[in-house]
Structure 1
């Protein structure tokens, strides 16, 4: 039996209910469940950004690839996130990365962040994926005067680090730039990245891989991995897949015992989203938020939001710690209250879509893309720290390069074995203590 951290409902097909992306972008492809005994040169577990990007990379190299997924391509975090294709991937600060690994590795990480965004653009063009993209970069909004002072100090370094414009926006300039909301004290616009429909990207990667011969099996959860003379034998409810190479890309939906090495090396964290009905031009003018920039605030428990091309407002936040009907009702009330507090003119606007998903952290707060110790020809890629659109796609490609015997274009520290979290199977309980603490810090 698989050992997972959250309640069983988090991993059920029904957990996608209410997701705007899933309910408005159907997938016309067929992904037959694995049936009987099958073989492949490369087996990929997980059909999200990382797994599909890896499968696509392998297929482009002419490899025989099979992908297994708990439900279907894009069902997990890849098809239900906020659609921010932006820098990120590590929760550790630049100063922390430099202190741990050196200035050269920090520079390599910055280069990887930019390359990840470029890879999404490249794949979308190559495989004719309509991303429904918008936004010239992203804007970080200060939630306090102190936070704005920090952004002011940070702006020159951001411009140097990424080689793009970093425009500081004074508090009195927000409204003129269509960024009016309650509780904003200025912002920093970084001209890097764009917004997209994440399900469109996930399905586009799946279709591209399938067209190159990749076999994608939906409703085929990997339930056990055992060594075999040919490599690995992966058991699913309907059959077995034997492969010489194994690639694991399950991120926040991983299990503690698949394989056993994963135990306590990842921490899923819940993120929730609401989406409004289309706003009228009068409603947009009344609130004063007309910008299409991807935006997020400076809180530890941050909010992220964007006005999409169809004039719906997407609004997301962290904070859930349990996957139960009662907990979901509470987070639904909380996210709606925060939305109305930040955008009071939209207090009467309906938000017909609400859903949650699992992002993922590593103990050292940096991504992992590397070989699984003690398992020959086995690799894993996970821990995008809430920024998996670009970095998950990039990390999956790098994992495929490792499996192909190529040198991946990633920082060396990405390949370092992540430490295990303290508290082991009880580590999720630490979030119940951390979240109230961060709320207090954010209010100061």
Structure 2
């Protein structure tokens, strides 16, 4: 059986319970499950943004592809995230990337961040998907402390130049004037890049296009083990069959297993991110709080809060912090998210919150994404650090090109061998200490 580091409930069907996207966007597609022996050129494990983007690129190139998912397309993080299509993908700072890999790789990564957003926008338009796009003027980072606000002021001009966009510093008073009032804000930085969307509508549209282009997509088909056939092809064992493939792409991100394939062991760290969604807010309630903008926003904490007022006037609010996946732990995390939400938006403290769910984002030890070859005829991509809508989609396309022997636009450090976490299979045990450290840093 797959070797995963969270409790089994994190990977089970019930973990999607309470997800607003799942409840509000039904999928009546009858995705087949894999049965018998299937022979293809490429097998892709994971039907999220990365795996589907890779599959689409390969299928459009005329390659025979099979995509396998333990549940259904978008069941993991791709169908349950906050819907922020924005810059990001690395937790490492620009200064850290420059020091480790040089100015050229940093510049390449910044270009990739922007290209990823533009690719998702173009893809949604091309698919004809109504993805409830809003916040088209970009994103807002909110300073949670005075030092953070001073840093925003210093960095605004450089950010505008780096990304070729606008970067407007807003005082607390200016935020209130623009309908961005919340407790604890010292100011903000409005970066004119990115947009918000319904993540489930996007991923389902992508899945349908993959099939329309000739790829095979199998749901409820978890890979139980990997091996090789006598003639050297990949052999993927499933509950009701096998897949034999000349080439293999792993795109499971935070839902990966340490033994699928064994190279993955301890090279990734899933972290929980949890989200609530309110009922639709009345005009009077919105006016009372003073948050009427549709800007997607997040704060400057290491353990950040992210939130946005959606087109249907429901408020989405998310944060991280849970380290276990049990009923008791999820109940405690729900209470914690509600407590933070009501503190930051006090006028909405009595508003009903019907939806709460959690998912797994993926971290690398050196805090940057990975996309590259991990063995003979084997490639993988993971570690978007909570920003996979854009970067995961773009990198899936790039990974497919790499596997086809084509030129890519990825930074060189994407292909490095990610270092392993020191505690190996028990690396989750280090999360409480890491989270405590981040909370202490966030206090200043």
TM-score between the two structures when normalised by the length of structure 1 = 0.99
1:277 corresponds to 2:282: no
Please say if residues 138 and 191 of structure 1, whose CA atoms lie closer than 8 Å, have aligned partners that are also in contact: yes
Tell me the SS of whatever aligns to 1:348. coil
Tell me the SS of whatever aligns to 1:428. helix
1:156 corresponds to 2:163: no
State how 1:16-415 maps to structure 2 within 5 Å: 16-135=16-135, 136-228=137-229, 229=231, 231-372=233-374, 375-415=375-415
Deviations along 1:126-179, one digit per CA (max 9) or x if unpaired, are 211211110011000011111111111111111111110000001111110110
Tell me the SS of whatever aligns to 2:357. strand
Please say if residues 231 and 245 of structure 1, whose CA atoms lie closer than 8 Å, have aligned partners that are also in contact: yes
Aligned pair count reads 442
| Structure 2 CA distance for partners of 1:28 and 1:230, relative to 1, 3 Å | farther
Tell me the SS of whatever aligns to 1:27. coil
**How far apart in 1 are the matches of 2:134 and 2:320?**
24
**How far apart in 1 are the matches of 2:418 and 2:130?**
36
**How far apart in 1 are the matches of 2:115 and 2:278?**
32
**How far apart in 2 are the matches of 1:153 and 1:429?**
37
- The residue that corresponds to 1:6 in the other structure is 6
Structure 1 runs (4+) greater than 4 angstroms displaced: none
**How far apart in 1 are the matches of 2:235 and 2:304?**
42
In structure 1, runs of 5+ residues without a counterpart are none
| 1:29 Cα deviation from its structure 2 partner | 1.5
| 1:249 Cα deviation from its structure 2 partner | 0.1
- The residue that corresponds to 1:433 in the other structure is 433
Deviations along 1:270-321, one digit per CA (max 9) or x if unpaired, are 0000000000111000000001001000111100000000000000001010
| 1:230 Cα deviation from its structure 2 partner | 5.0
Tell me the SS of whatever aligns to 1:381. strand
| 1:402 Cα deviation from its structure 2 partner | 1.1
**How far apart in 2 are the matches of 1:396 and 1:92?**
21
**How far apart in 1 are the matches of 2:215 and 2:64?**
7
**How far apart in 2 are the matches of 1:131 and 1:376?**
38
**How far apart in 1 are the matches of 2:429 and 2:152?**
32
Deviates more, 1:288-297 or 1:119-128: 119-128
Tell me the SS of whatever aligns to 1:409. coil
Tell me the SS of whatever aligns to 1:130. coil
Please say if residues 230 and 242 of structure 1, whose CA atoms lie closer than 8 Å, have aligned partners that are also in contact: no
**How far apart in 2 are the matches of 1:329 and 1:371?**
40
**How far apart in 2 are the matches of 1:2 and 1:441?**
36
| 1:28 Cα deviation from its structure 2 partner | 2.2
| 1:26 Cα deviation from its structure 2 partner | 1.1
TM-score between the two structures when normalised by the length of structure 2 = 0.99
1:15 corresponds to 2:26: no
**How far apart in 2 are the matches of 1:56 and 1:86?**
22
Deviates more, 1:146-155 or 1:260-269: 146-155
- Cα RMSD of the aligned pairs, angstroms, is 0.8
**How far apart in 2 are the matches of 1:205 and 1:417?**
29
| 1:11 Cα deviation from its structure 2 partner | 0.3
**How far apart in 1 are the matches of 2:92 and 2:124?**
29
